Amino acid sequence: MPLQTPLSFDFDGRRLRLDPHDPTFYQDPYQAYTLLHADAPSFFWENYGFWCFIGYDAVNRLLRDRRFGREKRDSAADSQGVVGDRSHLKDFDHVEKFSMLELEPPTHTRLRTLVSRAFVSRQVERLRPRIEILAHDLIDRFEPRGEADLISDFATPIPVTIIAEMLGVPVESAPQLLNWSHRIVSMYMHGRNRQCEDNANAAAAEFSAFLRDYAGRRRAEPADDLLSLLLAAEADGAKLSEDELITTAILLLNAGHEATVHQTGNAVKTILESNLDPAELFANPESTAKTVEECLRFDAPLHMFTRYAYEEIDLGDGILLKPGNQIGLMLGAGNRDPRAFSSPDAFLPGRDDQKNLSFGAGIHFCIGAPLARLELQVALKVLFDRLPNLRFKERPMYRDTYHFHGLERLDVEW
């Protein structure tokens, strides 16, 4: 089938012009990836203004390369490469300043050590019964209708409810938490505008004030929740400052649902389009785990993660980076690399070469990966066990948010 995505590629200079907001691209980026894998495992993406890497091995290696990092050093640009006056982003910048996602050792190490104990697999496994009950309760609500939008009715409530309960903030606040989260996350989109920035800054201020209030309550009356744990936690004698605590809670709430919502929708779409029997895919814990891993590889929720160079780096092939230069590491493309996977564009839950980049790699590997995997395994199994005749009601369409790759809606019936 001929490539539908309008792109321009200079093979000599390995320069790509491809609008990430073009619907034919963000609806199916894998067509472009196939062409690029064949001709250009690395290229300068002019629309972003930096070098990108799409090979599995290169992405995996560069995510672990300590000459690169997330923290902005010697650069006036923000995490999206935007330069200019930021006085209107004071509250957003204050939150981001203390985010472990944007920091490097030793600060990153201290913050991650304080938080990670809550997300180890043995701790997360205790949540399995709660996730299962929640999945059943949600289906009980919409099953009599014979139809649902699985993004709003199923994929969204599960992770936001679980992370809110873990932190100890009221679940009834979920709609407001989602609103704040979406407005903040929009700052990481390509081509954002001033309205988006003002909205994100206001959301950061409101979200911070909300969490400061709850942190104050937990400081006075500790409870069995993550907020209380973070208040009490120490690493090498050092506790989280209040700013670090607030930012960490915001990060966990944002990251604790955003990618999982997208991956749940993407996984249901993938399974329905595969024509494989869900009863076999979710027959037992082993097959369920393999199915979820292949869903993560086949249609990932995050397609690009950026890094800054911390020194002059010669990556070969004419790529010479200076301190402060960004690179784009394309997780979704790496998951479809024909050099790393046999039949990369086929959905094969039983494949022997199962591995994926969807949670990243290196010191910034997703701290919530065990929780995300558990939520996906439990939610998808319950969904297909309860609704074995699930089918599309409308053709699902992806949102215009290229590197946060997820569906606008997922209208189904049974």
Q: What is the CATH number of the domain that holds 36?
A: 3.30.43.20
Query: pLDDT grade, residue 287 (50/70/90)?
Result: very high
Q: Is residue 111 included in any domain, yes or no?
A: no
Q: Is residue 42 included in any domain, yes or no?
A: yes
Q: Is residue 63 included in any domain, yes or no?
A: yes
Q: Is residue 41 included in any domain, yes or no?
A: yes
Q: Is residue 175 included in any domain, yes or no?
A: no
Q: What is the pLDDT of residues 67-108, one digit of tens each?
A: 999 988 765 555 555 566 788 999 998 888 888 888 899 889
The proportion of the chain whose per-residue pLDDT surpasses 70, expressed as a percent, equals 95
Number of domains in the chain: 1
pLDDT in the model for residue 126:
92
More confident residue, 194 or 341: 341
The proportion of the chain whose per-residue pLDDT surpasses 90, expressed as a percent, equals 65
Q: Is residue 324 included in any domain, yes or no?
A: yes
For residue 72, the enclosing domain spans 1-77+306-328+343-357
The model's pTM is 0.92
Q: Is the pLDDT at 2 greater than 50, yes or no? A: no
Q: Is residue 10 included in any domain, yes or no?
A: yes
Q: What gap in Å lies between CA 352 and CA 379, rounded to an integer?
A: 24
Q: Is residue 323 included in any domain, yes or no?
A: yes
Q: Is the pLDDT at 289 greater than 70, yes or no? A: yes
